[in-house]
A and B are shown apart, each in its own frame.
Chain A
Amino acid sequence: MLLLDYFPIFIMASLAMAFAGGTVLASFWVGPRQDKSEKLDTYECGMPPIGTPHERFNVKFFLVAMVFVIFDIEIVFLFLWAVIFRRLGWFGLAEMGIFLMILVFALLYVWEKGVLEWASKAK
């Protein structure tokens, strides 16, 4: 019974993919096909693009992604705890207090290291 609850997800995924694929194919079939030589250019405000867009990126994007992974995993634990908190009582509160304290220290550490500063400071 439990697995059957998940069955509509599978059906929905396949139907949504079929719908998306079908619509794009139908649109391709219905739409006009003209000479495309200039239409296929990259649009950057009407100027010919200079250089490649795949340049080096600011490391902060990757740092944020790493911090996200840490916090997101810990949030999964929080959800499990929240569901059974009624049965845990004071014990649960104390345990989660310690856990959240570690999280806060992690956040303070990241903060202090400057990961959360987006604008580089003027020198």
Chain B
Amino acid sequence: MAYLKDLLLGFSLFQALPISVIYILTAAICAVVAIAAIAVVALVAVWFERKISAHMQCRLGPMYVGWHGVLQTAADGVKLFVKEDIIPATADKLLFILAPGIVFVGAMLSWVVIPLGPKMAATDLNIAVLYLLATSSVVAIGIIMAGWASHNKWSLYGSMRGAAQFLSYEIPTALFIIPPVLLAGSLRLGTIVDEQAGGFLGMGNWYVWNPFCLISFICYYVSTLAETNRIPFDLPESESELVSGFHVEYSGIRFSFFFMAEYADMFIVSALGVLLFLGGWHGPFGINHAFIYIAKVCALLFVTIWLRWTLPRLRIDQLMATCWKFLIPLGLINILGASFWMILTGKV
């Protein structure tokens, strides 16, 4: 945002305006860019997922709309947009209408602090990591609202499971984010990334090479799979028992908001993983560029999609036991280990 502000101030037209107008203008431009980015990310990610899934099963996937079906998602989006607006007769109308909006706004709020490259965040907050944890929980409110308002048994069961799973896995996610914060001594994403610059081949200072951060990275990744309702943790949406969970009754454009928010959340947690553990935009041999960062995020997204066709779904008792009996104790020990390591290696 600071860059954009300086850029605007470079033009004589904008120098005449009061500084407050410049601030509103830059913030609005950042927000519009972020909303456009979320749409593009969702479009590309859905196509990516359908193609990868297809090829893993020896199918072709979407082929007709555009080159290898690249415009298929856009066509689907238009179809969803012109669908009839249906609110079930027994639904709680106000909550039913509000729920997709809350899920969408929650996902968008996280985008404010996620950078798209070096110094390319809408705002580089000094509490960015904490802020991300807070905004990501907003989705849980939307999910439980959607399930309750639909007045449908499957929706309600799905949303109750979703809320329990989301709340439970929020704790290990937060616990495993702490070791990089410990090492960097900051909650600002820009600072955390810059601390990982340099080292052997330009990659040696990535936090993932630290033994405790390596444990953190793996467990963070597992927890975020659960937080974004991905297989093997997709219990809130399990098609074979709950039809599709909390959004059974949603159709048309309202459904597309849940869909967009889900893919935006996938991108956000992958991006956070890259920023905290994999050196952000610092690539091999000291190259740092937005493309390196986006490539790493795409690699993490690919692993997420790959897992979908590799692992079967867990049972809910296994899911809860993994979180409370394994990940949380491990997270607590991991924090102590990381702080010991810092003192022993003289980083304190």
Contacts and interface: CB of A to CB of B under 8 A. Distances in A.
B317 A118 contact: yes
B15 interface: no
A86 B185 contact: yes
A102 to B, nearest CB: 11
Given A9-B123, A43-B243, A79-B130, A27 B82 contact: yes
Interface string B309-348: 0000000110011001100110010011001101100011
Contacts of A39: 84, 86
B325 A116 contact: yes
B101 A21 contact: yes
Interface in A28-60: 28, 30-34, 36, 39-45, 49, 53-54, 57, 60
A24 B88 CA distance: 16
A79 B176 CA distance: 11
A23 B185 contact: no
B207 to A, nearest CB: 13
Contacts of A84: 185
A27 B167 contact: no
Q: How many residues of A sit at the interface, in one of the four size bands?
A: 35 or more
Interface of A: 2, 4-13, 15-17, 19-21, 23-24, 26-28, 30-34, 36, 39-45, 49, 53-54, 57, 60-61, 64-65, 67-68, 71-72, 75-76, 78-79, 82-86, 88-90, 92-93, 96-97, 100, 103-104, 107, 111, 116-119
Interface string B49-81: 000000000000000000000000000000001
A49 B150 CA distance: 13
A20 to B, nearest CB: 4
A27 B83 contact: yes
Contacts of B187: 79, 83
Contact of A43 (B171, B248, B320): B248
Nearest to B178: A82
A100 B28 CA distance: 43
User: Chain A contact residues: over half helix, strand or loop, or mixed?
Assistant: helix
B153 A104 contact: no
A34 B84 contact: yes
Contacts of A16: 31, 35, 104-105, 108-109
A68 B170 contact: yes
B220 to A, nearest CB: 14
Interface size class of B (residues with CB under 8 A): 35 or more
B164 A61 contact: yes
A12 B86 contact: no
Given A85-B185, A116-B320, 19 more contacts: A5-B126, A12-B30, A12-B31, A12-B109, A13-B105, A19-B35, A27-B85, A27-B253, A31-B81, A31-B84, A33-B85, A40-B89, A64-B168, A75-B171, A79-B181, A92-B339, A93-B336, A118-B317, A118-B320
Nearest to A16: B108
B35 to A, nearest CB: 6
A28 B253 CA distance: 9
Of the listed residues B87, B152, B340, the one surrounded by the most CB atoms of chain A closer than 10 A to its CB is B152
Given A65-B167, A86-B185, A86-B347, A54 B321 contact: no
A24 B109 contact: no
15 contacts: A5-B123, A6-B123, A31-B85, A32-B84, A33-B84, A33-B85, A40-B86, A53-B152, A53-B156, A54-B151, A61-B163, A71-B171, A75-B174, A83-B186, A96-B335
A117 to B, nearest CB: 8
Contacts of B101: 17, 20-21, 24
A19 to B, nearest CB: 6
Contact of A86 (B1, B151, B174, B348): B348
B153 A49 contact: yes
A78 B187 CA distance: 12
A76, A84, A118: which has the most chain B beta carbons within 10 Å?
A118
A64 B85 contact: no
